[in-house]
């Protein structure tokens, strides 16, 4: 089978692909080969997959077909034979785990991290690992080890960070779903810029064990591991596979995950907030949020537009909370424990000889600026409590908030350096430990994706996902880039 003979396999959800595999309407070797073919066709322009494991994947597909022929148990192996991709910062046995750090170029992971292991135990077949920003702490997925990743809708534009390689490949139709992580928007921004779905789970739901750089202390409550996928119906099944204690990450507890099918959108409280951070939101993104609100109102939801001035300091509150929660400085992480001399590295960067990117050096330098040290914890917590109370008052015990993900569509490469505070639209919800589902809402007049965030209260992941399912039907969901007929696409 070729992707030309059966192109639909590149547009189907992982859930539907798994169903067809179990019904033996598809064979895993053909499905995996089709996605490999797609990766080979687009990755030269995208640079999204940085290390491949195609031969291992094909061998695993053959084994999956044999298991499926014997009648595999769909309850224990729900993803058997379905390909996927993994963010390079997750441990995948035998694969690099450097997060773009040149000094870790030769390192190979000795084992699967917990979330990768759970996906593989469910039968998923990793095709390779994908690019990130350096140490997963910038808006653009670019580093000195692997280079820069480009957008499948227009390769002159960025893909977001730090799960940018995942966003690019899933958006290109080269992977049904990917595994990402998010401490300030690193799932939602790549999902937004690449026109797909992503979910940042409630804190304490999915363990972060085995990721690099390691997330320690209270910062683990701000870090969320979750899926990026081309279809909304995959979000909850993937979250169920990933969730649950692992006995290592002590911030994780067993939590009940509700069923999106049981959410009644008629009467759901929906609050629309356009200004949820720093920077003026582009009219086309305000229009996308309004289209989503109108679609929910047509289904009977109680929609109200309101201002939330408490969110205007979003970036500051997120950065202060992360500073308090992180036991290790970013500067120290750059040197794997001992930070490099920043003056020397900036000079070497100017000569194009530094192993570090300018954003990484800039972040490390900011830590040294007088007056930008550790904030007062009590004040930060009090300010966040005010935001949390305002949000809960706006949406009630089980409603949702609709808001922009970013002030504008995917910028050209390098542009975030000029406006570094725009990520406050996403980071605030990490500080508040809330679930957020990123929803695509079509393309703008230049063929670039638009979309929005659906925010819920803690433990209400199924509600935000239920809204995403409804908006997918109303707004059209992911638009395969090969259907746009525009230049500069994958």
Residues involved in catalysis = 87, 162, 186
Pairing of strands 177-182, 83-87: parallel
Kindly compute the dihedral angle of the four CA atoms of residues 332, 333, 334, 336, in this order, to the nearest 10 degrees: 90
Residue 324 burial by Cβ neighbours in a 10 Å radius (0-12, 13-18, 19+): middle
245: which DSSP letter? -
Contacts for 370 with CB less than 8 Å, ≥ 6 apart: none
> Which token pair is 133?
């920003």
Q: What are phi and psi of 93, to 5 degrees?
A: -50, 125
Sheet holding 224-229, edge to edge: 49-52, 125-130, 83-87, 177-182, 224-229, 197-200, 436-443, 449-455, 400-403, 269-272, 302-305
Phi-psi region of 237 (alpha: psi -120 to 50; beta: other; left: phi over 0): alpha
Rounded alpha-carbon distances, angstroms, from residue 241 to 121, 125, 164, 165, 489: 9, 14, 22, 22, 33
Preceding peptide of 213 cis, ω within 30°: yes
Residue 50: phi and psi, rounded to 5, are -100, -25
Judged by phi (left if over 0) then psi (alpha if -120 to 50, else beta), residue 203 lies in beta
Distances (CA, A) of 176 to 84, 233, 315, 441: 6, 12, 32, 19
Biggest alpha carbon distance in the chain? 65
């Amino acid at each position: 089978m070729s992707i030309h003979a059966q192109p639909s396999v590149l547009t189907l959800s992982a859930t539907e692909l798994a169903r067809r595999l179990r019904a033996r309407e598809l064979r895993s070797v053909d499905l995996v080969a089709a996605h490999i073919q797609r990766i080979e066709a687009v990755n030269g322009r995208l640079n999204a997959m940085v290390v491949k494991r195609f031969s291992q994947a094909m061998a695993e597909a053959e084994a999956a077909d044999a298991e499926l022929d014997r009648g595999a148990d769909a309850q224990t192996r729900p993803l058997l034979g379905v390909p996927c991709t993994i963010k390079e910062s997750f441990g995948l046995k035998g694969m690099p785990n450097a997060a773009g750090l040149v000094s870790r170029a030769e390192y190979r992971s000795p084992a699967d991290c917990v979330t990768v292991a759970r996906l593989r135990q469910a039968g998923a077949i990793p095709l390779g690992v994908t690019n990130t920003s350096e140490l997963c702490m910038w808006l653009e997925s670019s580093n000195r080890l692997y280079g820069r990743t480009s957008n499948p809708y227009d390769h002159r534009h960025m893909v977001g960070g730090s799960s940018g390689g995942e966003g690019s490949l899933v958006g290109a139709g080269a992977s049904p779903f990917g595994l990402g992580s998010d401490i300030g928007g690193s799932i939602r921004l790549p999902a937004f810029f690449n026109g797909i779905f992503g979910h940042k789970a409630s804190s304490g739901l999915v363990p972060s064990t085995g990721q690099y750089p390691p997330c320690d202390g209270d910062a683990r409550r701000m870090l969320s591991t979750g899926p990026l996928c081309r279809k909304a119906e995959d979000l909850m099944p993937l979250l169920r596979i990933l969730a649950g204690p692992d006995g290592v990450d002590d911030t994780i507890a067993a939590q009940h995950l509700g069923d999106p099918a049981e959410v009644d959108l008629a009467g759901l409280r929906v609050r629309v907030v356009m200004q949820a951070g720093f920077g003026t939101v582009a009219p086309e993104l305000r229009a996308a949020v309004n289209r989503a609100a109108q679609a929910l109102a047509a289904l009977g939801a109680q929609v109200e537009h309101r201002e939330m001035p408490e969110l205007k300091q979003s970036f500051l509150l997120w950065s202060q909370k992360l500073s308090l929660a992180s036991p290790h400085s970013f500067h120290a992480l750059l040197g794997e424990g001992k930070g490099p001399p920043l003056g020397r590295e900036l000079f070497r960067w100017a000569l194009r000889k530094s192993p570090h990117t300018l954003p990484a050096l800039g972040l490390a330098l900011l830590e040294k600026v007088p007056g930008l040290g550790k904030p007062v914890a009590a004040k930060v917590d009090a300010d966040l409590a005010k935001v949390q109370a305002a949000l809960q008052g706006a949406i009630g015990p089980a409603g949702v908030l609709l808001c922009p993900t970013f002030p504008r569509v995917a910028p050209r490469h390098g542009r975030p350096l000029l406006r570094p505070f725009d990520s406050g639209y996403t980071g605030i919800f990490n500080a508040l430990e809330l679930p957020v589902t990123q929803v695509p809402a079509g393309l703008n007049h230049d063929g670039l994706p638009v979309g929005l965030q659906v925010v819920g209260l803690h433990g209400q992941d199924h509600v935000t996902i239920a809204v995403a399912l409804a908006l997918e039907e109303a707004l059209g969901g992911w638009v395969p880039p090969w259907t746009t007929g525009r230049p500069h696409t994958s």
